Structure 1
Amino acid sequence: MSERLEPSESYGVHLAGDDAVVPFQVDALDLRGRTVQMGPAIDAMLARHDYPPAVSKLLAEAIVLTVLLGSSLKFEGQFLLQTQTDGPVDMLVVDFRTPGDLRAYARFDKARVAAMAAGADPSALLGTGILAMTIDQGPHTSRYQGIVALEGGTLEDVAHAYFAQSEQIPTLVRLAVAELYTRGETGAARHGWRAGGLLVQFLPDAPERIAHRDISGGDAPEGVEMPGGDEDDAWVEAQSLVGTIEDHELIDPDVPVERLLYRLFHERGVRVYDPTPVRDQCSCSRERIAGVLRSFTAEEIEESIEDGAITVTCEFCGTRYGFDPAEFRAAG
């Protein structure tokens, strides 16, 4: 179901609020996209780990990017975003399972992160390496994986490079994260994380309207820009409009995503579709972990025993599972 946005005084639509992805389209500009504001869900995922603020911010950006990409899946499956780098934050993992279950984890070197100045460039946290995006439709299908190099820059930059190289769809991504401090009923300050994002793609009916930059065959002199076709006027206008977005508009609870979309595209007409909720929901379970342990050799089982028990802690949600080793010795 879709509804055309009208001025804020008379939207006539149900506002999505936090933790819900809102698909939209602007027919006059051949645009389709998704936007989201995240509050309680992302705060819960970050709060259960003792991450330094810089690591929390980076992981939150990865979570929002994963939501914007994973929510496009039209089937039951999984979208996994993972980085592997040589930076102080050497791994980010965000797991999105349709229609909207999320879990996320960051691995980092405490000493290296602590040695960085406050407000350090996120690219310095990531370092160099790769970012992999994996789509899994289930056990009877082949996985699809796209890989893009991480060589400095933000996750927004990486997303743009991915779409330019792999999908060849003109795409704009905006991500924002902030810490929010409010006063509770007792007057004490309360801390929480908020994040938001917007993804816009140019998808005209006539594919020739998408200008593709030529890919160098490797013979061009260093520093020489390869020629590319002129961009479509509609896409130029879209980039100009999206370029006016300020970070606070993506995360402010008093600026719902519908209001932002109306501000950006009201002159062209913007239509929104039913929101899809996203939630902090880990997929770990005692049964799943027990299944993994049953695949261990007898030697691996013995090595896993500590104080007479096997204890497994989920890196995503922090849940601890305890097992009697005798169960797996018998299975072996």
Structure 2
Amino acid sequence: MAGPPSASAKPLTDYNVLILKNSDAWGTPAVEDTLTDMGVPYDVMTSTELQSRTSQDLISAYDMIVIVSDQGQQFYDEMGSQMDKLEEYVRAGNVLEIHAANWGWGGGLWTTPLPGGVEIRRSYSSHDYVLANGTTLTSSYASHGYFVGLPANAEIITVQAPTGAPDNTKPSTVLYPLGSGKVLVTGLTIEYSVARMGSDWVAFYKEMVTLNLGYSTPAPVVSSRRVSFMMLNFYYYRRYTALLEKYNALYLEAVEGGLDNETLMMAQGYNSTAAEYYTNASRYGPVLGNLRKLQILPDMREAALHQKQAVKTLKDAMAEP
């Protein structure tokens, strides 16, 4: 497992993002407004203009590409025919952020799979649950769909929660690797809700952008006045260490109780992966001494999430009659 590259970081103002859209989603340039507020430079290009660019053009010019929600059918038709180009861009070590919520005002629909064969299924929900911190995003429609065909190593970030309780069978925001890069797909109504539904949505999207840029090469440096990534690092550190302690106790109990080897090995796999991420986060020295480094945030988050899965694997198996 390899975390973000350890090349020298640079400020957000030195990054360049490409926004792909033919029109404003739900009548608002929310992505542009967010990037401007964060100090991230960007270009805007239509699906037709993209046709004249090669994958190498994109690789050499942009650290991340954002595909905006709620477009007309021409946009989705032209994007579908260029998906191979975008996949090549990601495989080279870049980040593609796809706002896949169609069925909107623009009237267009995705008619081709997203990178890696992932597809979105139509499903409206007024509430979506953020797995990392247990909060809920609420909007008139917080999401328009969930994803299927995900790779086994995908990280689920949000799930639909139409009744208020999370439905883990309907992942609405997902991050997954593709080659040396990352793809983030979301069915959330990012543009509509960031523009109209208040600070929780704004904070969520800013964090999403920051973390996605953290997977690009090299990772960015962000002013703590804009994003409190130091607190996020501390939160994931506390989560990881607490879950590790719980895992160690559960593992001994599971062995003594005669839990089957297959389940034990599965839990050990999650535990080992979490430890690898934590080790990578420690490449600058002790984590607690480097909480101000944005570069360790993706690894700390992955460490906590995999350790959580290790604990869950044991708890679920031990709870079975």
TM-score normalised by L of structure 1 = 0.24
Larger Rg: 1
TM-score normalised by L of structure 2 = 0.24
- Identify, as 1 or 2, the structure richer in strand: 1
